[in-house]
Chains A and B, each alone.
Chain A
Amino acid sequence: MRDNVKGGALTETTFFVLLTLYRPNHGYGIMQFIEEKTKGRLYLGPGTLYGAINNLLSKGWIAPCGENQGSPKKLYIITEEGKRAAERELKRLTELCAIAREIIEGSRDDR
């Protein structure tokens, strides 16, 4: 997962994993959640997902959270820093969308 450091943009995978983890979830749960939300458009290979989780853990944007009652599956949750990163990304994307709309819809009127 190479995220653009200068522009601050997150990859779609990274952003989606962050969003999924606003509630505690485990690896398989994250994969299913993303597939469901994008109606199958975005499918994450388990290798890619592992890389994304590790990357987010090392950034401190997500953290492991307590054991799932009785289940041995590792759960993760977003941290305060992770939430700030997600909010920054939302702001960036909103701005981008506004500019895109302006230009694309503006060009339609010209035709």
Chain B
Amino acid sequence: MKVLRYYGCFLNAQEKWLNRMAEKGYRLVRTGTLLHEFEACAPSEYEYRIEFIADKDASYIGDYRRFLEEMGYRTFTKNINLNFSLGKVRLRPWAKGSAKVATNPGNYNQELLIIERRKDGKPFKMHTGEDAEALVRYCKTKMNRYLSYSLMFALGVLFSIIMETSVSSSIFAGVLSIIFFVQGVIFAFALHHADSK
């Protein structure tokens, strides 16, 4: 069964959904940009966790996945952005070391790691003790970026009103300001959820 879903940076929601699917007897077999492909299995046979790994470079991700698979977990990578390009290079100032540069092919579009294990009644926690705060850093960077864009365009609107320039340009700037503001608010919500996790 194929299902198209997109959760972006809302890891908890995606994790809950995968676990609900598993309870109903569907096991993940493949992930794509939007795609989640499932096969039938016994209800509640498997359970899932999702980890944010965008602050890690490609070789770390590969090694980490091998380690987990060796321990009997199944892993899938998933994108956090909707992006179809090849040869992409992005800077990630909030990441560490060589992961500051994300490339596609490479670690770009592999921001999330989905981990599956057979349910055994014991708690399923990937990290015990201090948790990784990379997701919080990521959401904060994005939120600040979009809110500052929004502010910039809002100032543009103010400027064009004072200077009595064309109405169309101030409407254009106003719309952009609102779009960026909405995106900033989405990341503020995600930040709130990531912080409480």
A→B interface (CB under 8 Å): 2, 11, 13, 26-28, 31, 43-48, 50, 53, 72-74
Interface residue SS majority, chain B: loop
Q: Is the CB of B71 within 8 A of A48?
A: no
Q: Is the CB of A48 within 8 A of B70?
A: no
Interface residues on B, range: 10 to 19
Q: Is B127 among interface residues, defined by CB-CB distance under 8 A?
A: yes
Chain A residues with CB under 8 A of B172: none
| B2 smallest CB distance to A (angstroms) | 29
Chain A residues with CB under 8 A of B126: 45-48
**Closest chain B residue, CB of each to CB of A53:** B67
User: What are 9 A-B interface contacts by the 8 Å CB criterion?
Assistant: A2-B130, A26-B70, A27-B70, A44-B128, A45-B128, A46-B67, A46-B73, A48-B129, A50-B67
| B155 smallest CB distance to A (angstroms) | 43
Q: Is B15 among interface residues, defined by CB-CB distance under 8 A?
A: no
What 5 A-B pairs come out closest when comparing CB atoms?
A: A47-B126, A47-B127, A45-B125, A45-B128, A28-B71
| B188 smallest CB distance to A (angstroms) | 27
- Complex Cα distance, B127 from A43, in Å, reads 10
Instruction: From B51, B122, B123, B127, name the one whose CB has the most chain A CB atoms within 10 angstroms.
Output: B127
Q: Is B43 among interface residues, defined by CB-CB distance under 8 A?
A: no
**Closest chain B residue, CB of each to CB of A71:** B70
Chain B residues with CB under 8 A of A73: 70
**Closest chain A residue, CB of each to CB of B67:** A50
Q: Which of B68, B115, B123, B128 is A48 in contact with, Cβ under 8 Å?
A: B128
Q: Which of A2, A11, A27 is B67 in contact with, Cβ under 8 Å?
A: A27
- Complex Cα distance, B115 from A13, in Å, reads 22
| B157 smallest CB distance to A (angstroms) | 46
Instruction: From B70, B71, B126, B130, name the one whose CB has the most chain A CB atoms within 10 angstroms.
Output: B71
| A57 smallest CB distance to B (angstroms) | 11
- Complex Cα distance, B148 from A25, in Å, reads 51
**Closest chain A residue, CB of each to CB of B53:** A47
